Amino acid sequence: MQIERIEMSDERMMSVLDFDYELPEELIAQDPLEHRSDSRLMVLDKESGEVEHSHFYDIKNYLEPGDCLVINNTKVLPARLIGEKEGTGGKVEVLLLRRKTDDVWETLVKPGKNARIGQKLSFGGGLLTAEVVDIVDEGDRLVQFHYDGIFEEILDQLGQMPLPPYITHQLKDKNRYQTVYAKEEGSAAAPTAGLHFTKELLQEIRDMGVNIAEVTLHVGLGTFRPVKVENVFEHHMHSEYYKVTQEAADMINATKAAGHRVIAVGTTSTRTLESAAAEDGTLTEKSGWTDIFIYPGYKFKVIDALITNFHLPKSTLIMLVSALAGREHVLAAYKIAVEEKYRFFSFGDAMFIH
């Protein structure tokens, strides 16, 4: 397995506390808005730190003909299965993390302590059954599934969307935790910056002469795992699968060569491009696994601007955003967002950093 790594030469201490901020709990968005593009948009100038307030449906006002938007077309699996242990009938929750072979998945099982090798599980009254076949890194379980028919169809019938732990409401419509351009199945979480786009808005953006390139990064649950070390340099990212097609590479290279901007939609698109690019910023068709960790001091090779959401305190995502716009600018903008009662995290409002 090829892992793309970014090694930073600076071995000084960088404290995770430098990326903390106060967030009232009521600002964590629990439900998506009725209309995707009605979310608010904070526009941050990465050089000056100046902030403007707008709405996402006006994102066109900040784009220019010749720009290239890069979107992550991954599709979230309804990967959360609620079932019971055969023999005891005890409730069990299985979260699919990564497919190892056709019917064997690496999973997170709750409660884990009783999910021993050989434990049999049942879902949907036996429509889907499973057996724990191994215990791997960090206590994740390898689970072999048994069923009649097509696994994806059964999963669509029985599975729930694996919403982040800070969202406590049940999602009424599964598709609202899916971008309108999602097509490559494999994510355990949505690339949430893309949730604000509608098909109509994307067409308007194309019509004004902005190119749209698609890449794929299957978001893992490492996205939600907190940074547990005090020194940022000691944190290790979980690896995620990415893919850049030749078509996308050509479009992005042409944009750069013409002096126009490459605008990543989300931190996942950013990590994909920065993982796949050569040192001079050029791209070719490429796929593999990346554990790239971007934090202040990183020199971006490809992206010029970023559309993103508001991220958790002390998270790797706020570190990535700080690498692009500067920690002081980002934390000052977040302070304004709290004062102005922006909605935070996955179903929250958006930010355009340019």
CA-CA distance, 290 to 267, in Å (whole number)? 13
pLDDT tens digits, 113-135? 878 999 999 999 999 999 999 99
pLDDT tens digits, 57-96? 999 999 999 999 999 999 999 989 999 998 888 999 999 9
CA-CA distance, 322 to 225, in Å (whole number)? 19
Give the residues of the chain that fall short of pLDDT 50. 1-9
pLDDT at res. 6: 44
CA angle 134, 316, 59 (to 5 degrees): 120
pLDDT at res. 1: 45
Kindly report the number of other CB atoms within 10 A of residue 348's CB atom: 24
Buried b / exposed e over 177-196, threshold 16 CB at 10 Å, is: bbbbbbebebbbbbbbbbbb
pLDDT at res. 208: 98
